[in-house]
């Protein structure tokens, strides 16, 4: 029973355009939502997060949007760069231990 | 370096053997996590330490898996009687005490059970 779902295994975007990665969750108890980025042969690295009391958080080219009623969040990357090519994991955590639960990931390829 | 260090980076073993995977977290991080990532999947939670004690081991798949952190720093994940299905990348992460899910991961230990 996957509590965090990333239904698109891959996404291909041209350099300079917007990349939109989507994530759905089922557990309404989640307090924080996070995005991690992973390059091959490396561990995931934290990218950006959002609290459940907010609907948007922006950090440079990266913006995360949260729609609590739809239990949906998305990561927008504008403009996309070839160095953004990686696997992006959506994750969610809840109060207490805040242990993140991860989705299966979306592989983003940004073409020059 | 100052990051999370995991050894070995690669381990090939035979079915039925015993394996130990080591994690050296970022200095000062009190929380330590083990995850397992199989091909095409996201990281799957195994166990979480707060200091020396296992605060949550609900993700350990069965009693062949065990982890320790005796001095509140380095941790060892131990797998007994390995099975082919245990083949995966084992990821260790650490975080400061008050983290809302922002973890610092190591590069992982790739375990292959033949």
Whether residue A92 lies within 8 A of chain B, CB to CB, comes out as yes
CB contact (8 A) between residue A43 and residue B102: no
Whether residue A30 lies within 8 A of chain B, CB to CB, comes out as no
**In Å, how far are B2, B74, B91 from B7, measured between CA atoms?**
15, 11, 11
Per-residue model confidence as pLDDT tens for chain A (112 residues): 789 999 999 999 999 999 999 999 999 999 999 999 999 989 999 999 999 999 999 999 999 999 999 999 999 999 999 999 999 999 999 988 889 999 999 999 999 9
What pLDDT does residue B100 have? Answer: 85
Task: Give the DSSP per-residue string, B46-111.
Answer: EEEEETTEEEE-TT--STTEEEE-TTSS-EEEEE-S--GGG-EEEEEEEE-SS-SS--EE---EEE
CB contact (8 A) between residue B100 and residue A93: yes
Nearest to B42 among A46, A49, A104 (CB): A104
CB contact (8 A) between residue B105 and residue A44: yes
Residues within 8 A of B (CB atoms), A 48-87 only: 49, 51
Nearest to A97 among B35, B40, B55 (CB): B55
Which residue, B54, B74, B72, B62, is CA-closest to B7? B74
| Residue B35 pLDDT class (50, 70, 90 cuts) | very high
Whether residue B30 lies within 8 A of chain A, CB to CB, comes out as no
What pLDDT does residue B1 have? Answer: 55
Residues within 8 A of A (CB atoms), B 33-92 only: 33, 35, 40-45, 48, 50, 55-56, 91
What pLDDT does residue A8 have? Answer: 95
**In Å, how far are A83, A84, A97 from B56, measured between CA atoms?**
36, 34, 9
Task: Give the DSSP per-residue string, A93-106.
Answer: E-TTT-PPEE---E
| Residue B83 pLDDT class (50, 70, 90 cuts) | very high
**Res B98 pLDDT > 80:** no
What pLDDT does residue A109 have? Answer: 98
Query: φ, ψ for residue B97 (rounded to 5)?
Result: -60, -50
Q: Describe the strand order of the beta sheet including B65-68 as a list of residue ranges.
A: B5-7, B19-24, B75-79, B65-68
What pLDDT does residue B12 have? Answer: 98
A35 three-class SS = strand
CB contact (8 A) between residue A89 and residue B44: no
């Amino acid at each position: 029973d996957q509590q965090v779902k990333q239904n698109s295994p891959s996404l291909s975007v041209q350099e300079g355009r917007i990349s939109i990665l989507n994530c759905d969750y089922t557990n309404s108890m989640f307090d924080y939502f996070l995005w991690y980025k992973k390059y091959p042969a490396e561990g995931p690295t934290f990218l950006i997060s959002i609290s459940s009391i907010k609907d948007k958080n922006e950090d440079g080219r990266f913006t995360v949007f949260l729609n609590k009623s739809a239990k949906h969040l998305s990561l927008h990357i504008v403009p996309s760069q070839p160095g953004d090519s990686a696997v992006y994991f959506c994750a969610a955590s809840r109060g207490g231990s805040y242990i993140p639960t991860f989705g299966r990931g979306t592989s983003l390829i940004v073409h020059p | 370096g100052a990051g999370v260090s995991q050894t070995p980076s690669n381990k090939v073993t035979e079915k039925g053997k015993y394996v130990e995977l080591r994690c050296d977290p970022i200095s000062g991080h009190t929380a330590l996590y083990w995850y397992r990532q199989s091909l095409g999947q996201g990281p799957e939670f195994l166990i979480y330490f707060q200091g020396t004690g296992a605060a949550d081991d609900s993700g350990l798949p069965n009693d062949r898996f065990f982890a320790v952190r005796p001095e509140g720093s380095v941790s060892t994940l131990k797998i007994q009687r390995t099975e082919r299905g245990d083949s995966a990348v084992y990821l260790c992460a650490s975080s400061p005490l008050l983290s809302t899910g922002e973890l610092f991961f190591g590069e992982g230990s790739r375990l292959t059970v033949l």
